[in-house]
Structure 1
Amino acid sequence: MNKKKLIFSIVTLCILIILGFLRWDNLESSADLHYKYDRWASQKWVEFYPPLAASPNSMEFPLMYMDEIHQSDINKYLEKQALTGELVNKWIERTKLTDGYIGLLLLNILVVIYSSIKLFILRDKK
C-alpha cells in the first residue's frame, strides 16, 4: 500500500510541477513592456520596466479591456482600474491561485517524503 501511495504522490508531484511551468505564456515585448498571459486565470499581464529608473524593479499589473498599453497611458489606466476595484480583484485571484498551487505542491512534497521514510523504515525492520 505504501508503494502505491508513494508512486501516486510522485506522479502527482510531476503533474503539479509541469502545470507550474505551463502557467505563463510569454507574449510580445518591447523595450520597456513585457506582456505575458496567465493560463490559470485567463488574464493578460504586463511588466513595465521604467526607463531611467533608480532601481531595476518592474511594475506588474493586469491588462483589462485592452490587448496592449502605451507607456504614456499607464498612470491613467492604473488610476482608473484602481478606482473601480478590478485591479485589486485580479491581484487577489492571482494570489489565491498561486497560494493554492504552492500549498498543493508543499503538501504533495511532504506526502512523498513521509511515504518514502515510512517505506524505507518498514523495509529496514523486515
Structure 2
Amino acid sequence: MIIKKLIISMITLCILVILGFLRWNTLDSSGDISYKYDRWAGQKWVEFYPPLAASSNSMEFPLIYRDGINQNDIEKYLGKQALSGELVNKWIERTKLTDGYIGLLLLNILVVIYIFFKIFILRVKKIG
C-alpha cells in the first residue's frame, strides 16, 4: 500500500516538473525585445532589455490586444494598459498560476519525503 502511494506521488511529481518546463514557449527575439508565450495563462509576454540601462535587469510585461510592440511605443503602451487595470490583472493571473504550481510542487515533494521517511521507519522496526 505504501509503495503504491510512493509510485503515485513520484509520477505526480514527474508530471508537475514536466508541466513546469513546458509552461513557457520562446517565440522570437529582435534586438532588445524578446517575446514568450505563457501556455498556462494563454498570454503573450514581452521581455525588454533597455539598451542604455545601467543594469542587466529586464522589464517584463504582458502584450494585451497586440502581437508585437516597437521599442519607442513601450512607455505609451504601459501607461495606457496600467490606467485600464488590465496590466495588473494579467500579472495577478500569472502570479496565481505560479503560486499554485509551486504550492502543488512543494506539497508533492513533502509527501514523497514523508513516504520515504515512513518506509525507513518501517524497515528499522523490522530489523530491530
**Partners of 1:83 and 1:45 in 2: CA distance:** 18
Q: What is the aligned partner in structure 2 of residue 18 from structure 1?
A: 18
Runs of 4+ in 1 over 6 A off after TM superposition: none
Larger relative contact order (C-alpha < 8 A, sep ≥ 6)? 1
Deviation at 1:82, TM superposition (A): 0.2
For residues 84-112 of structure 1, what are the alpha-carbon distances to aligned partners after superposition, in whole Å with 9 as ceiling and x for unaligned? 00000000000000000000000000000
Q: What is the aligned partner in structure 2 of residue 88 from structure 1?
A: 88
Matches within 5 A, 1:1-126: 1-126=1-126
- The percentage of aligned residue pairs carrying the same residue is 79
TM-score normalised by L of structure 2: 0.97
Deviation at 1:31, TM superposition (A): 1.3
Count of paired positions: 126
Structure 1 unaligned regions, length at least 5: none
Structure 2 unaligned regions, length at least 5: none
| Aligned-partner residue type, residue 114 of structure 2 | Y
TM-score normalised by L of structure 1: 0.99
For residues 5-52 of structure 1, what are the alpha-carbon distances to aligned partners after superposition, in whole Å with 9 as ceiling and x for unaligned? 111100000000000000000001011001000000000000000001
Deviation at 1:81, TM superposition (A): 0.2
